[in-house]
A and B are shown apart, each in its own frame.
Chain A
Amino acid sequence: MHIDARNLANDSTIEGDICIVGAGAAGISLAMEWINSSHRVILLEGGGFKYEDQVQELYAGKSTGQKYYPLKSARLHYFGGTTGHWAGFCAPFDEIDFIKREWVQHSGWPIQRKDLDPYYERAHPIIELGPYQYDFKYWRQQDASLKSLIHDDSVVWNKMWQFSPPTRFGEKYKDAIVNAKNIHLYTYANVTDILATENVSAIKSVTIKNHAGKQHTVKARYFVLACCSIQNARLLLAANSQAANGLGNDHDNVGRYFMEHLEVKSAHLWLRNPDPLKLYGFDFGLVKSRAELAITAAKQSEEKILNGTASLMPMAMAKKLKPMIEMWSSEDPVENMDHVMKEFEQAGLTSSSSTGEKAYELFTRIEQAPNPASRVTLDNERDALGVPRATLHWQLSDLDKRSIRKIYEIIGQEIGKSGFGRVQLMEYLQDANDNSWPAFIGGGWHHMGTTRMSNDPKEGVVDSNCKVHSLQNLYIAGASCYTTSAAPNPTLTLIALTLRLSDHLKQVVKSKN
């Protein structure tokens, strides 16, 4: 069922069993789990079914610290969320990503990889991936021509990725959501405030507003924030009429530990003989899987580095591509995407596979060390609906830089061992004492960690079930719950985590009935 909140009588009250705030990958995945249940699910989307600048403008905000993309264009604000233009890169997090690593401060999830495995598998069909198989041996059995650059996987291994078509949630799941009798999708329903009970132990209602000047109240037994990391933190911080620091923020953790994937060109691989390196190749929409070079857990532990991977792109193409931080500079996400696609076409990135190159660029994708000073706060300026805007202070650390350098040193050693060629680190990585960052470093538009998971309320905002510690009926879905960010793009994991949350909520609802 779909209702346009602009058409409701002003000051309407909407009631349901579960209220999901945000209809992106997390919100829609969660709502889909409840279709045909006996529960009335309210799904709130701030925008409509397509891009509108006026709605997108609500995401605008300032950035300080490390240069970042304009906040307005770093997420999409309409039904389907940022899946409206995501690239579909998927891989599960590794076991080491969940454990406490002595050399990574604030690491260690209260859940482990095995806890997510069944949900990863369930997430696969939602984003139209192949079998839940990420073992290089499996993929080589499917295609014997896949040749590894590494002979010994005890130090560097081939981390497999799969590619979603990519699934556009707004298109793929619109009919299912709109036609579901118990799912009540409200568009143009921007949450502007969250009201708790008098003793601030539970959420009573949320206030929604839109540009038509309408304001409504949504009441539910359970609430789930699924608005992405910046907006989840922003909403909690802005809900400060009953708790001075915002809801769920008794220990000043909301908004902190903002993490991105550092994505940056880092080294060159020179091969003795030209090779297409099919295992590592990527043709958008054609290739179903590929490998990136990753460092084993044992080696990460030995070197005390973060988890990251290197992808390969023929040098001739890579040289034509401007850094993303330059290409994605407009406040308008549509304009940015057009720009990027044009650049990709000019670089030959959308054409058929390389038949054999001698030189490749190695591109890093690495977790950012959890850092409480890397954070989202509220600005004094408010958006058109009266909510304080978000300010992002993205702050990197020396460990981030040292890890990138060490990763390529290790890869260089292993490529040297294999005899395929040699690796040359880019200039910004050559001085081990230089902790500065080059102007071309960017992120993957992967916002994570502002409501991090920990079973200790002093260390995190949500518990292992994604419930906000101090509030009995408020849950959070999405990458904001990540304790650490791992190397892979966040979508697969956030859907898996959302499915796990859904199962938990079903148990909770059942036990309370």
Chain B
Amino acid sequence: MLLAGSIDVISGSLECEPDGYGTACGRSCEGAADPRHAGGEGGTRSLCLPLMCGIAGSTEDPEGRKVRGMCATMHHRGPDDEGIYSDAASGVSIGMRRLSIMDVEGGHQPLYNEDGSLAVVCNGEIYNHPQLREDLLARGHRFATSSDTEVLVHLYEEYGEELVHALDGMFAFALWDEPRGRLLLARDRFGEKPMFLHERGGELAFASELTALVAVTPGLRELDPVAIDAFFVFAYVPGPGTIVPGVRQLAPGHLLSWERADPRSRERPWWTAGADGLVPQERFESVLAEARRLFDESVRRRMISDVPLGVFLSGGVDSTLVSIAAAKQSSKRLQTFTVGYDVGSVSETAQARRTASYLDSEHHEVTLTQQMVAERAPALLAGLDQPLADRALLPLNVLSEFARPRVTVALGGEGADELFGGYPRYRWLARSRRAESALPAGAARPLGALLRGGAARVGRGERAARRLAPAPLLERNLDWVTSERRGARAALYGPRMAGVGEGRVVADLAARAGGHRGEPTVRWLMHLDQIDYLPDDVLFKTDRAGMLASLEIRTVFLNRELADFAASLDTSVHLAGGGKAIVRAMLPDGVINTSALGRYRKTAFRVPAAEWLRGPLAGALDRQLERGVIYGEGYFDREAARALVREHRSGERDHSELLWPMLALGLWADRFHGLDDG
């Protein structure tokens, strides 16, 4: 029950502080050719996108000029800090751009070991660094700074490349081993921090941002139709490729080593997701006790003493659990934030208030108005490294900006659904597989076809039929997550997309997942989401949304011991009850109104996209249809798009599932197209 007056609900709009980093602050860049520049059409403000911490490096850059150029694209006016190390003899330079306002526990980088033979730049945080430092000090290492990153060079002295196995954190780092002439790049296991690579003519270049690589490398101006196809189907660009041919990502959980003596890049995984189903026979109480221990330890490591913490409350179990654990361990009053809208029917604010009351947190509600959408969305979507059509990007960014003046760090619940079986489709698909196995052999496929055909004829229930009727599990999973986009492609694509095979996107996905023996299981789907959706949509979104506001978002569920533990449990343990059984069991009773939760299908950050496309973003859509490069260059068919927009605008149909990705891609492509070539 909500106790009136017991929580401090602060409603507000975003302020534009004199030295803040808001996208609404209207700073101008050095002209439209500045890669940080976005927007400015149709009377909207042009914005200079602030950026983030980033690392960069090249093996053909003896004076660091190229790296300086890459760091400059990650530049924003304001207090910041740049450091570049160049080994002129080998031609290798590595550099880091860090915003001082982001100085959580870090220091100036690059960082070095005792004799200066190793240099490292790292984007991210090593959460277990206090314990690591203690162990290393006991072994005789000497530290020059209090930065968490410094443990990396000392761990390398002990373990070489295997140092990644000592880390609990989110990281993408580059380490230069001068005596051996070896460059080591590493990315964290889930892909929380980005790393883009480009190789040409024996040179290896890397950067935290695709835009940085593109800005300093001539000739990287093409777009890959296969990647565009995948983007349109999935609403994100799946790794390890990118939308720019020639640029790829260092895959999550991978290492890359490069040696001056043998200058070829060698990539290998240091961790791979397991796809096997496991059936331990433990008592649920001891499973739960272990989960709690690991979860609390993860929160403890991610907190900083004596500094207020923020949590974004969505009303769902993940953020609620995170906030309860944080409040328990924090000596300061927790700051909680929720976003609301002025249009549409989605609201998380009621449950969030209940949780805030329970926590006695300082609770803030931010309204993301249509006005704000009109002002911010185009620049935000255009300015990303790669297009992203996850609609939660905008509310998450707004929350981050609102939180930033009040907290340095926010704790996030990302990853819980993938690791702990939270998505409803896992349960549905598991159930239908069980039902299917009860059918007589050979009846399943024809029955499936019959059901789908029947639904098509009747004109209703097609969605349900496609999802539940017997068919290969991957197909059904895809249908579920990609809505009708797969089928709509043919009508919407232009001639530039002709070369992309229809089945390519599915084949690529199955290949990335490493295939499976026999029929795939729901476990395999969870594994697939972990290696694909999680890094390239969820974590990409979280990283950018937060970093654009200079707020560091620390995920709690992606702690490696907790993730290992989740992986050791059978799917049936996770999917029991309403799904995500372990997470729910860790919640105290009564905090979440479970009857509401029952009706509450996964709606965290569900946004009124349909309304926005009819209202505040109508102008952007129209401008796109008129002048957008994706139509001009023949990727999409202008007339088909126009018809969609008309239907959507008339209220006859809701085409937001199709229009949002097209808008996101179009805005992004226009900015990309407008960049100077090298």
A, B bound: no
Q: Which residues of A contact B (CB under 8 A)?
A: none
